[in-house]
Amino acid sequence: MPVEIDHKVCGFCLGCATICPEGLYYIENNKLEISEGCTDCGHCIECCPVTAISEI
Q: Are 8 and 50 in contact (CB under 8 A)?
A: no
CA distance 11 to 49: 9
Q: Nearer Cβ to ligand SF4, position 28 or 40?
A: 40
Count other Cβ atoms within 10 Å, centred on residue 18. 12
Site for ligand SF4 in 8-47 (CB under 6 A): 10-16, 19-20, 22, 24, 32, 34, 38-44, 47
Residues that bind ligand SF4 (CB under 6 A): 3, 5, 10-16, 19-20, 22, 24, 32, 34, 38-44, 47-48, 50, 52-53
